[in-house]
Structure 1
Amino acid sequence: MFRTAHEAAAAGIAAFGLVNAALILGSAALLGAAAQLARDPFGDAASLVQLLYVVSGGLWSAGGIFFGLWLIPMGWCVLRSGWMPRALGWILVGGGVGYVLDTFVGYLAPGLAAAADVLVVPATAGELWMIGHLLVRGVRRPAPQPAPQPARQL
């Protein structure tokens, strides 16, 4: 959708989104394995279930970094394209930065993780606004202007 607005940023949206999706899917797979192991235990099942749970959480957190990195070029494309309100673009950029910061705060200052969760509020607002805008208004590109006609020579 945004390739014509800024090709590199549109590629960033795709790349960061794919990495985020892969990390989230890996996290879900580990949680599924932990649940299966809890139902049908073998060996030191409790330790293994806990390990799978912790690694799943780590993948989910790493996915948060790429989710934030996904929002930044999306906001940039909204700003460059002019197809959506500029405020939406700035909220997406701010929300992306907030997501990245929230993830790092969770690792570097775990005691502040709950307070840092407010950093992702702009991302949530921007996502909901983007979805609502696309569902209600769609992308309204400006109508192409006709090419000027050359002056007639007499």
Structure 2
Amino acid sequence: MLVEGDAVRTTANIVGHETLFRLGIVADILMATVFVLLGLVLHRLLHHVHERAATALLVFVSVGAGSILVNLTFHVGALLAATRPGHSPELVLLLLDLHQHGYVLGGVFFGLWLLPMGFLACRSPLLPTWLGVLAIVASVAWVADPVLAFGLPDAPALIRHLVELPTSIGELSLLLYLLICGIRSGQTVKVQMPEPGSCR
């Protein structure tokens, strides 16, 4: 949809593919929802390893998901600006640019949740240590990316690409491991059973 520096073509793309643009918004809503559910599952699975780290993971996931939804306001604004009579193509392009910048800034919390996740993976017998190390490296890279983007805007694009690489490797490794391997077999998690007569 977005044509860099061309407000008229970008607006025409949105108007001509409004349904696809709306589906993109819906996809982000679903992503944010699933992200929170993932945080809840990981907290339940790993809170016995370190309660504070698991809580930090859940908090960072929740804030990151919230930032996705707040940032979608710019996408909705671009859609409204593009489809209303007398629209301003420059405003549409500005809103989409703000959405892109918002995603970069949201990378701080996309990275911060991986820090306690990596710590928990390193300490838990349910997950391999190497997976935790990759998550921690990805966390640092996620936080470094917006710092480079706004602090060193004239830096060569190759530097940002190199910084972004660990984020993809770390998150993809975590995703594939959980989907394909799951938690390590033969390991048990102690669950405190409620006492007879307790309503909790």
Question: Per the shorter chain, which TM-score range?
Answer: 0.7 to 0.9
- Give the CA deviation at 1:136: 2.1
1:68 corresponds, among 90, 106, 111, to 111
Distance across 2 between alignment mates of 1:47 and 1:85: 50
Please say if residues 102 and 113 of structure 1, whose CA atoms lie closer than 8 Å, have aligned partners that are also in contact.
no
The verdict on how the C-alpha distance between 1:30 and 1:78 changes in structure 2, with shifts beyond 3 A counting, is same
Shift of the 55–8 alpha-carbon distance from structure 1 to 2, 3 Å rule, reads same
Partner of 1:84: 127
Alpha-carbon contact 1:64-1:99 (below 8 Å) kept: yes
Hey, what's the Cα distance between the residues in 1 that align with 2:77 and 2:156?
27
Structure 1, unmatched stretches of 5+, are 145-154
Corresponding position of 1:123: 167
Give the counterpart letter for 2:149 in structure 1.
Answer: G
Larger radius of gyration: 1
> Which residue of 1 is the match for residue 52 of structure 2?
8
**How many percent identity over aligned positions?**
31
Question: Given that residues 105 and 113 in structure 1 are in contact (C-alpha distance below 8 angstroms), is that contact kept between their aligned partners in structure 2?
Answer: no
Aligned partner letter, 2:102 = L
Q: C-alpha separation between the residues in 1 aligned to 2:58 and 2:145? A: 22
Deviation at 1:79, TM superposition (A): 0.4
Supply the distance in 1 between the matched residues of 2:146 and 2:84 (Cα, whole angstroms).
Answer: 34
CA distance in structure 2 between the aligned counterparts of 1:66 and 1:30, rounded to whole angstroms: 19
Report the equivalent of 2:92: 49
Looking at structure 2, the residues matched to 96 and 87 of structure 1 have their Cα atoms a distance apart, in angstroms, of 14
Q: TM-score, normalised by structure 1?
A: 0.81
> Would you say 1:107 and 2:150 are equivalent positions?
yes
Shift of 1:69: 0.6
What is the rounded CA distance, in whole Å, between the counterparts of 1:63 and 1:32 in structure 2? Answer: 18
Aligned-residue Cα RMSD (Å) equals 2.0
Q: Using a 3 Å threshold, how does the CA distance of structure 1 residues 41 and 22 change in structure 2: closer, same or farther?
A: farther
Letter in 2 for 1:90: V
How does the TM-score come out when normalised to structure 2? 0.64
Aligned length: 143
CA contact (8 A) 1:17 1:70 kept: yes
